[in-house]
Structure 1
Amino acid sequence: MAEKKEYRIKVQGQLVPVSEEVYLTYHRMKRREIYLEERDTTNGVFYYSALDTEGTNGEDVIPDLVSPRVEDAAVDKLLAEKLHRCLAQLTKEEQELIFTLFFQNKSERQLAAETGIPQKTINDRRHRILVKLKKLMKI
């Protein structure tokens, strides 16, 4: 009479008796895990967890290239404040032209049609104002 074979798997360092079905499923899963690791190694897959140390998480050492840097946000804020101060130094007519063209997003052609001022004149004024703003921004 054939003896019934005992199946065991290692759980937390101890051999635990299991059924044949559990044993086969466990080893199939274990082999699949090894296969996937081998495939990742072959394909050059890198896991952030490989960068983990006692004091840091691997993901924390990878720079975030999508989010804006704090330094850039601070510089943008300072430039915006300076631009507003420079805009305040323009005459009322110059401010209105800049506001209409850049803040209301109207084209020179639209503004010319509304005001009756030739488009070339509006373009020349816009150019002179931008040169003036550039000089004010450099100061």
Structure 2
Amino acid sequence: MTLNNLIDLLQKYAVGHQQINDFGYGNISGIGAKGRDQVYPLMWVVLNPSRYQGKEMNYSLQIVFADLIYEDGKNELEVWSDQQSIALDTVSYLTDNPEFEFTTDGTANIDYFTEHDGDLTAGVVLSITIKDPNPLNRCVIPKD
């Protein structure tokens, strides 16, 4: 599985999830960047430093799930709860899917946030590692 394959898989998941209206990836600063109108709730994938070790490629991801909150913040707990449910849906999708050759490392962290700069949002950040057991293939090396 390449990085392109992984992002494509996550994007298809987001498009199919009935509680996610937007998808993106890149630096966290890309959320709400100029020229990009967000449609909430959104799923945003941040690529962390990843590691090849023991014949496995370990992709370290932070996946942001965010939605708008009211100015007075009265719905903040509801937004946290809803976004946590979506994050756990994602964990389930990535860990309990017999179609995938990859696995997770068996753990996932969820951090809660409220953002007052730019769009007034709240949500969760899911930290998860995807373990690809077959990242190497000498047959596809572009050589003569």
Q: TM-score, normalised by structure 2?
A: 0.22
- From the two aligned structures, give the one with the greater strand fraction: 2
Looking at CA atoms only, which structure, 1 or 2, has the larger radius of gyration? Answer: 1
With a CA cutoff of 8 Å and minimum separation of 6, indicate the structure with the bigger relative contact order. Answer: 2
Q: TM-score, normalised by structure 1?
A: 0.23
